[in-house]
Amino acid sequence: MDTTLQDPLVGQTLDGRYRVEARIAVGGMATVYRALDMRLDRVLALKVMHPALAADGAFVERFIREARSVARLAHPNVVQVFDQGTDRSYVYLAMEYVAGCTLRDVLRERGALQPRAALDILEPVLAALGAAHRAGFVHRDMKPENVLIGDDGRVKVADFGLVRSVDTVTSTTGAVLGTVSYLAPEQIERGTADPRVDVYACGVVLYEMLTGARPHSGDSPAQVLYQHLHEDVPPPSALVPGLPYGLDELVASATARTPDVRPADAAALLGHVLEARAALSDAQLDALPPRALTAGHDNAEDRTSVIPRSLTVPRRLPAGADGDGDGDGDGVQRTSRLQAPPVPPPGPGRRSRRPVLTLVAAVLAVLCLGAGVWYINAGQFTRVPPLLSRTEAQAEQRLKAAGLEVKGVERAYSDTVARGTVIGSDPASGARIRDHDSVRLTVSLGPQTVRVPGLRGVALDKARARLKAAGLEQGMITREFSDDVPRGAVIVSTPPAGTDRHAGSAISLVVSKGSPVDVPDVTDEDLATAREDLTDAGLKVKVAAERVTSEYDKGQVARQTPDEGSRAAEGDTVTLTLSKGPETIEVPDVTGSNVDDAKQRLERAGFQVEEDRGLLGLFGDTVKKQSVRGGDRAPKGSTITLTIR
């Protein structure tokens, strides 16, 4: 049954812009829809928060704040956030739509992957997380469901719904945020999260890609959590014999139960992955897992199925390599079943007429040619040793040991490789090169950092320009009163002036609202007097277009916004609503009536009543006269005086 037909949001348009076309997936925090941006005519994914969470104002505020922060992660391997908004009870994010499948879909369909495929997926994931970690965020819910593989082969990290600031220590009461199979021990024990919890989860994901199974399992989530706390993740080679030791080391390093033993963040883990790959041969990278580990398996408890379309994982062939004969010509080898071409049997009675001596001669010629080539090349060629993530001195030592020289050193910024370590070489590691030839190294300068400029007292527009000139971005702006910083100028930045930050980082600003002003009470004043009082206090005046009935005379101030006693900034505007006079109603005629009856009629009509008895009316009970004649109109709530005789 198509559940999207029962979804009330399908077919609706949010904010007059996003037409919801179909439901894609349902998660713990939100539902994801495919939608059309009618303004830009493009398909995107719309993530709509569940109504129960949308009713929590504090949660929505944090969701919006963190969504804006994640939107600044302009990285090719992070699902991009385009827009955020609310429409009625719906709180939503408009995000990049990735047509393809999730890593979970791939593992369910194919089981264990070849090491090369596993690393091809892991490396862009770590690049994305590394950018997030360096920008100050932790994902906290890394798992195969949140790794999207596009139809074009691109890998992207999705669902930063549980993202937190690196500096934020998150604790939970009676609950652990995340998915049990990928939680780090410190998340379970203390509810804390820093970049190393993402490193742990990526180690579990790598184990699962290499083996087709998760390292910890049990009949209940509690059993899985217990194993995370008390048992090491086993080496993948224990389940898949023949896997290289370097892959076991990668998994062990990333999933160490003690956080301090793990790589500090995803960028550091990426350096280890690149080094491990460089040390593996093509045969080791392309080794097929045993057939028993390639069967599909179910992971229903973690299923998200984000944007499923294809269960085929493209793998690009080396440059110049032939395709699989499918005629695509796009250099992408897709999963398919290949059959060897049939060899036609020799016809009955047919024999080769070629003399045996001719065949032997041909074989000898080939052997001699091979021997000649071996003789010519022997001792003249070698291969560039693994150099990635080595320090400059270590790389030079390795090259010298291999009989090679350093031709020169170039330096470049890198967000993922530590300062002083090798990020590339020419020729590359593993390339065939003549003995005693030279290699040019590229060494990391680390992330490009810039210094936060001094902005105190600088007008906001000029502060934005200074940040941009320094290679930084403006972050969240808050406004506060200040007695010594002019209105509209920066009071302080976070981080403060002089702090070194990665280029492109967002800097939060506190902007002055000026000195606080106590708003005077101008109700019951005429407009000219009220305007003068407010102007003298340093405030501006706006008169509302509508007028209201009130107890005040026509033309007097009936109400003001903000109210008396509120604090406003100098130059703020106070809106005045003028009175069109009290509401008038017809006065009942009570002359000649009993005084008690007369009072009841007048009070029911909305008037106040006073009695005038004088000396002659001390003992009387009849109304001889009323201050407003019966049938005339008087302001509602006004006082009618009765003369009693």
| d(C-alpha 325, C-alpha 341), whole Å | 12
Nearest CA to 501 out of 420, 444, 447 is that of 447
Contact 155, 122 (CB under 8 A): no
Contact 228, 185 (CB under 8 A): yes
How is 395-446 classified by DSSP, letter by letter? HHHHHHHTT-EEEEEEEE--SSS-TTBEEEEESPTT-EEETT-EEEEEEE--
How is 461-528 classified by DSSP, letter by letter? HHHHHHHHHTT-EEEEEEEE--SSS-TTBEEEEESPTT-EEETT-EEEEEEE--SEEEPPP-TTSBHH
Q: CA gyration radius for the chain?
A: 39
- Identify the helix (H) or strand (E) that includes residue 133: helix 115-135
141 is catalytic: yes
Contact 642, 626 (CB under 8 A): yes
| d(C-alpha 158, C-alpha 270), whole Å | 19
Please give the span between the terminal C-alpha atoms of the chain, in angstroms, as a whole number: 87
Nearest CA to 397 out of 387, 407, 388 is that of 387
Phi, psi (5° rounding) for residue 63?
-60, -45
Q: What angle do CA 521, 522, 528 make, to 5 degrees?
A: 155
| d(C-alpha 388, C-alpha 569), whole Å | 57
Exactly one of 141, 159, 265, 572 is catalytic; name it.
141
Q: How many CA atoms within 13 Å lie on the side-chain side of 328?
A: 12
| d(C-alpha 460, C-alpha 514), whole Å | 13
| d(C-alpha 644, C-alpha 595), whole Å | 7
| d(C-alpha 73, C-alpha 132), whole Å | 7
Pairing of strands 42-49, 30-37: antiparallel
| d(C-alpha 604, C-alpha 398), whole Å | 103
Residues near 253 by Cβ (< 8 Å), separated by ≥ 6? 203, 261, 262, 263, 269, 272
SS3 111: coil
Cis peptide leading into 344, omega within 30 of 0?
A: no
How is 158-182 classified by DSSP, letter by letter? ---TT-EETTPPP--SS---S-GGG
Give the amino acid at 76. Answer: P
**Which residues are designated catalytic?**
141
